[in-house]
């Protein structure tokens, strides 16, 4: 079963605007990772945030994690048409279990 639930399922914005996607999960996690997938191709790793971290930045990306609410958000600032893709969150429970459980994903469309 899916661990995470992303919302919104689809998001359409104009170039230059910010895009925020949310992810909720059900059980305790060790890490949460965000991935991007362009047109059904392979997944590109964006960022990993550990359960003891609250916020992380990478370029135009900002990820937050609230373990008390079992949720995370991905913010893309100053979006570009090239950011058009599906975005997935994935969690692992740590220890010797490195399996990832994926959310349903958010389809982001950035209009030029």
Please identify, using beta-carbon distances, which residue of 44 and 78 lies nearer to other proteins. 44
Residue 81, SS3? helix
> Locate tokens 């639930």: which residue?
5
Select from 19, 23, 33, 108 the one that contacts other proteins (CB under 8 A): 33
Residue 31 makes contact with other proteins by CB under 8 A: yes
Select from 17, 58, 94, 111 the one that contacts other proteins (CB under 8 A): 94
Residue 34 makes contact with other proteins by CB under 8 A: no
Instruction: Say how far apart CA 50 and CA 67 lie, in whole Å.
Output: 10
Residue 48 makes contact with other proteins by CB under 8 A: yes
Residue 38, SS3? coil
Q: Burial-class residue 13 by CB neighbours within 10 Å (0-12, 13-18, 19+).
A: middle
Binding stretches for other proteins (CB under 8 A):
2, 30-31, 33, 35, 40-45, 48, 50, 88, 90, 92, 94, 98-105
């Amino acid at each position: 079963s899916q661990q995470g639930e992303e919302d919104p399922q689809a998001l359409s914005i104009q170039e230059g605007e910010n895009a925020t996607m949310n992810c909720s999960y059900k059980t305790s996690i060790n890490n949460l990772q965000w991935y991007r997938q362009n047109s059904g191709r392979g997944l590109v790793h964006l960022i990993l945030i550990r359960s003891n971290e609250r916020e992380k930045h990478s370029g135009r990306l900002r990820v937050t994690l609230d373990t008390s609410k079992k949720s995370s958000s991905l913010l893309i600032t100053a979006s570009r048409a090239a950011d058009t893709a599906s975005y997935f969150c994935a969690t692992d429970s740590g220890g010797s279990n490195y399996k990832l459980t994926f959310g349903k994903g958010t389809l982001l469309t950035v209009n030029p």
